[in-house]
Structure 1
Amino acid sequence: MTGSDGEQALAILGPQATALVKELDRIFTGWGLADGAEEISAPPLFPVTDLEKFDVYTNFPHLAWVAGSLELTGDQFRPVEGKFGPGAVTEARYGLPHATCYGAYLFHEGGQVADDSLVTLVNRCFRNEDHYSGLRRLASFQMREIVALGSFEHTQEVLARFTGRIQAFAAALGIELGREAAGDPFFQNDSGRALMQKLSPVKYEFQYGDLAIASVNTHRNFFGERCSIRLDSGEHAYTSCVAFGLERWLAVLTEHFDTDLDAALDAVRAAAAPAPAAAASAEPS
């Protein structure tokens, strides 16, 4: 663990932890690919103008990190006591995302998608939290997402399927997860969707104790409108996403298996393996 001012805000994963995170990501990615998702790759930062379209700096200013180049006149570019002082950074034109799914909407911006589109991607996410707590809460962590775009029915069917998969996977690992409706100010600037959010939760978290390690999220047509993503009918696309915090899963498995990461890796592989009957039915006759 490392971080400024003594905070455990960042993690360098060792070989065993890296192997476990990669296996988890392979499994979650595989769930998406099995449903027909196409995998895309996004950069770890975006222009502020892109993130601003999603009200990121209005609804989540407390989480935001931005990046700018150094001011090279005088000595402002020199850090003092591990920090760059006021005036050391020029205007910040890039933002560090706090969620992975933004890349999926920007990828499809201005385009047309089928009613049953599905993509998956993983990215580094960055959050300016009020405190950090090892692997449980980091300033930078990896998030794998499966993002549905298309009809509203499609977006909800994807969330229902993945809810079942998450619960079954956790049960196979012997991990008890709660499913809790989460308060999220995402639609704070949209009165119609904000009201609907109050009437019907749009985000559910899967929690191990007080730690959310996965979530399913309904956005309705918010991103479709903001990125001008349309269906064949001309209607703006609806979206939803399933998110997995990889280091948070690592934290839970480390605790559950009493720091024996080899045992955790074996258990993860066993939990993800198809049942014998399902495997047999998949074999060609």
Structure 2
Amino acid sequence: MTAGEENGGDSDVNYSFALDKSLNEQQMELLYGKLIYSIEGIVSCIVDADNHEVVLDITDPERLPVIEDTITALQEEVKRVRTVKRRVIKSTQQGGITIQDAAVTQNADSHDFTLHKELGAEMPAVLFKALENVFTHLTELFGAEKRKYPSLILQATLSKLNYIETYPQNIYLVSEIPHQMETLESVRHHEHFERIPRLSGYALTPAACFHCYEELEGQVVNGPLVLASTSNCFRHEAPWRLGKHRMNEFNVKELAFIGDAEFVRATRLQAVEEIWALFTALGLEGSIETASDPFYFEEDVLKGQHQLMADMKYELICRLDGGKESFAISSVNDMRQSLCKAFDIRDRNGNWQHSGCVGFGIERWMYALFATYGNVLAFWPEPIRKLLGLESEDHLEKGVEEKA
């Protein structure tokens, strides 16, 4: 462990921790994915694969022994994992379409914008609505029935999925103040009223598709069924990671499809082609790759490796600034029978159905477009504006407010 200089005169101190040279790239990626949720009081974290070290900015040097012990323990965990590399399904470097040019890039670089605020999202309504319309049209190609689900979801529903036990790092549980007169009165006068609430039995929705299974629980689904919804979703993220494309509250356009194995397979393949066609038509750069869910516990990590090997999860990765910044903006998943089994959704013969889903992170698509083309819609290439339905004079006068 080595200590660096303080950052910019504030109290944050930079430290580096040497990693075992035997760790491969995938193991270091797993280490990072667990480390960011395992230590509070840090303001940045980088796993330097080239130098085999973890670089942290921390606010309290007295926590260094705990931090070092945590890194050591996590390193021993990931060393035991036989990792599987991501596989690239499609890539713009393999002949994808791009319509960026020097003028557009200059426009993107010369404008500042933000999609994130401390407690929520500042969403440019024009582009948000345009993308929502595009995604709605795409879901209509699959004959989807429309749904609108709430932001709250029962903890009992998540328990059927073992979600809280598997992904505790991402969940927001909702508390409530008991409806008792003396309790309500104490809130007004209690110095530490935050000690009064109790868990309500609800959580904030972490994934839109869970409501679909909740709706269909215990039912017989005869023939293919496709549901589409736009939902607010919530993920508990480390505060220092929030900003740009990452938020703790965001909007997802979701497509869930339920039927036999062949229907789910064919629908998923069609979804991949439709999403890729949209992505490249918008002139974005990136790839579709195999992926896995963010399992936290060692005993669950093998499930993620199975997802990679079985091609159960695809992510559409957007790359900006020549690949210096990359993030997922959509996912296309095949859950086989796992979720239908958990919610007892069967066909007419009593067999559990298969299911899959597609998610579009609307704010992430917005960020990708603004980062690529800038925050003044009038400067965007005409084919992009036409595809998004942003051709009117009223639309062209609107952009994202620049930071003061």
1:251 aligned partner: 367
The DSSP-based 3-state class of the residue aligned with 1:241 is: strand
Is 1:184 the counterpart of 2:293? The answer is yes
1:56 aligned partner: 163
Trace 1:13-52 onto structure 2 (pairs within 5 A): 13=123, 17-52=124-159
Q: CA RMSD in A?
A: 3.0
Deviations 1:49-78 (A, max 9, x none): 111111110111100001121253564467
Identical counterparts, % of pairs: 26
The DSSP-based 3-state class of the residue aligned with 1:148 is: strand
1:163 aligned partner: 272
Deviates more, 1:69-78 or 1:103-112: 69-78
The DSSP-based 3-state class of the residue aligned with 1:63 is: coil
Query: Residue type of the partner of 2:228?
Result: T
Query: 1:149 and 1:78, CA in 2 relative to 1: closer, same or farther beyond 3 A?
Result: farther
Trace 1:84-163 onto structure 2 (pairs within 5 A): 85=194, 87-131=195-239, 132-163=241-272
Distance 2:383 2:208 in 1: 27
> Which one of 329, 338, 360 corresponds to residue 213 of structure 1?
329
Distance 1:201 1:79 in 2: 53
Distance 2:382 2:348 in 1: 45
Q: Is the CA contact (8 Å cut-off) linking 2:208 and 2:254 kept in structure 1?
A: yes
The DSSP-based 3-state class of the residue aligned with 2:281 is: helix
Trace 1:77-88 onto structure 2 (pairs within 5 A): 85=194, 87-88=195-196
Q: Is the CA contact (8 Å cut-off) linking 1:9 and 1:134 kept in structure 2?
A: no
Query: 1:270 and 1:230, CA in 2 relative to 1: closer, same or farther beyond 3 A?
Result: same
The DSSP-based 3-state class of the residue aligned with 1:61 is: coil
Structure 2: any 5+ residue segments left out of the alignment? 1-113, 320-325, 390-404
Pick the structure with greater CA Rg: 2
TM-score relative to the length of structure 2: 0.59
The DSSP-based 3-state class of the residue aligned with 1:228 is: coil
The DSSP-based 3-state class of the residue aligned with 2:176 is: coil
Query: Residue type of the partner of 1:244?
Result: F
Trace 1:205-244 onto structure 2 (pairs within 5 A): 205-209=315-319, 210-244=326-360
More strand by share: 2
Distance 2:380 2:283 in 1: 11
How far the C-alpha of 1:197 sits from its partner, in A, is 2.8
Query: 1:27 and 1:198, CA in 2 relative to 1: closer, same or farther beyond 3 A?
Result: closer
Query: 1:194 and 1:128, CA in 2 relative to 1: closer, same or farther beyond 3 A?
Result: closer
